Amino acid sequence: MTTESTGASGRTAIAEPVVDTEDGPFRGTDDGVVKVWKGIPYAAAPVGELRWRAPEPPQPWRDVADARRVGPVCPQPTDPRIPLDLGGVQGEDSLRLNVWTPSGAGDRKPVMVWVHGGAYVIGSANQPLYHGKALASGGDVVVVTVNYRLGAFGFLDLSAFTTPRIRFDTNPGLRDVLAALQWVHNNIAAFGGDPARVTLFGESAGGGIVTTLMTSPLAQGLFSAAIAQSSPATSVYSAERGRRTAEQFLDRVGVSPADAHRLVAAPLPAVIAASKRLFDEVPVRTPGTLAFAPIVDGDLVPDLPIKVARAGGSLPVPLIIGTNKHEAALFRWMKSPLMPITPQAISSMFAEIAAEQPGLQIPSEADLVDAYSGLRGKARGMGVARDIGFRMPSVWFAEGHSAVAPVYLYRFDFATPMLRLLRLGAAHATELPYVWGNLVAGSKDPTFKLGGLKAGTAVSQRMRGRWTRFAASGEPGGAPPWHPYRADDRATLVIDGEDTVVDDLDGELRRAWGDEILSFR
């Protein structure tokens, strides 16, 4: 059903389509290119006793709800080094999603469900970068962007403190994404989407959620393909580590373990402040680790995702997976401790790995010298950090998953003259504007100030074409042909001003790092 509003001049303005869902009807907008519905609740507000619980369905309604404006985003700390435009106000009633679908006729379109990144603590589905108009209209797909709980709200494992008085569930943030996928399965046909063709895609922490859910039996049947961009696939921790972090959080917020039930009423500023302290402290104290990340709970997350994939236990869906050439450059530029770049931090990380898993074969210094020949000082540290944080986990996951379903491995190398001048290059997250087709983020965006927009536009068209064709058919296509990753050639697409396909691009790194270190978490 569609209605239209009329301006003072009497001319028809923007259309306002109404769509019925299982929970109730929503009014959106239609500008003639895409129809958009924003701020749709896919779960009840996680407040009070639901604060650290698995999401519950929203209460149904009968009147038409307004979905013309975005909803709240998960409360989170702010960081002046990362001036994110969250695209909405912060609030705990944040389990909302946004939908874009082409205005033209036709239904049963491929669906792409986006999980944003942000180290599991920051970010939003409402960010202008993730506006889905270009992706939806250019690829004839339905685009869904999902808000989920972050930081302590989504990735603090308080389950050890469950009592008859209060229950805490494991991995609330992951369970949010599962609930959103279930909502898509139940409702997306009403928006013109095909519930049998759902591609789950995400970047950074969002990519980590993708690779984690690919090894979860609870995600079976909820998506038919996946794309993991810069996934920190090994940043999934044991229940023991999760409990230690939870105890530290309780200490920071001033609540004893015996009184953990008080957290459901803890003031929001206190929760955010404690989250920020832990987020800052943990990677300094234990380099290479995050304060908040998915936890192996034996249920939603049965084991470390890389171990499950290497054992052939991942969900048998086609996968695009890859990283950027200069992932660590962003963290150096921000002076962030999230990645161990200095020799001291790297040594500390390897010492921790050895302490946690005695007998584990860790690459020798000679092995790494050979693999990173030509790199000196911080450049070598950035290479090691990039590869243990992002590249090797993605390669390890590809190696395992290729035994159960087609895998398409890529590396994103494209960088504008300005990003090269800033010594960022193809840094972490720099592929995002090209995937979304939102290349210039306002007049102050320096990315293309020294040129490169024409080449960048071509890169974006090729990437969006491959991503949306993959969502439609499970094959990315394009030129040059991008073949699945197999043991005989390990084909890898290098995305640059001109795309190329290289056999075994990571061969030297694979041999240097080996396979055993993949399970150190």
d(CA 418, CA 407): 33
Residue-by-residue DSSP string for 439-506: ---STT--TTTTS-HHHHHHHHHHHHHHHHHHHHHS----SS--PPP-TTT-EEEEESSS-EEEETTT
For residue 365, indicate whether it is catalytic.
no
Q: Which of 224, 428, 431, 460 is catalytic?
A: 428
Residue where the block lists tokens 């909502």:
183
Active site residue 401: no
What is residue 43's three-state secondary structure? coil
3-state DSSP call for residue 29?
Answer: strand
How far apart are alpha carbons 380 and 378 in whole angstroms? 5
User: Distance between CA atoms of 515 and 395, rounded to whole angstroms?
Assistant: 10
**In angstroms, rounded to a whole number, what is the distance separating the alpha carbons of residues 231 and 208?**
5
Measuring CA to CA, how many Å separate 93 from each of 39, 45, 55, 304, 503?
Answer: 10, 4, 11, 31, 47
Q: Looking at 16, 327, 399, 431, which residue is catalytic? A: 327
CB contact set of 443 (below 8 Å; sequence gap of 6+): none
- Kindly tell me the number of DSSP H helices and DSSP E strands found in the chain: 16, 15
One-letter-per-residue 3-state SS of 286-336: CCCCCCCCCECCCCCCCCCHHHHHHCCCCCCCCEEEEEECECCHHHHHCCC
Backbone angles phi, psi at 206, to 5 degrees: -65, -40
Q: What angle do CA 24, 51, 235 make, to 5 degrees?
A: 105
List strand residue ranges (DSSP E) for 147-259, in order: 193-203, 225-229
Residue 454 one-letter amino acid: K
Cα–Cα distance, 520 to 350 (Å, whole number): 10
Kindly write down the DSSP assignment for every residue of 232-265, as one continuous string: -TT--B-HHHHHHHHHHHHHHHT--GGGGGGGGG
Given 204, 314, 394, 402, the catalytic residue: 204
* CA dihedral sign of residues 435, 439, 444, 449: positive
Q: Is 204 a catalytic residue?
A: yes
Grouping H, G, I as helix, E, B as strand and the rest as coil, residue 343 is helix
CA distances from 175 to 33, 53, 135, 153 (A): 33, 9, 26, 12
Nearest to residue 260, comparing CAs of 250, 252, 274? 250
Q: What positions carry a catalytic annotation?
A: 204, 327, 428
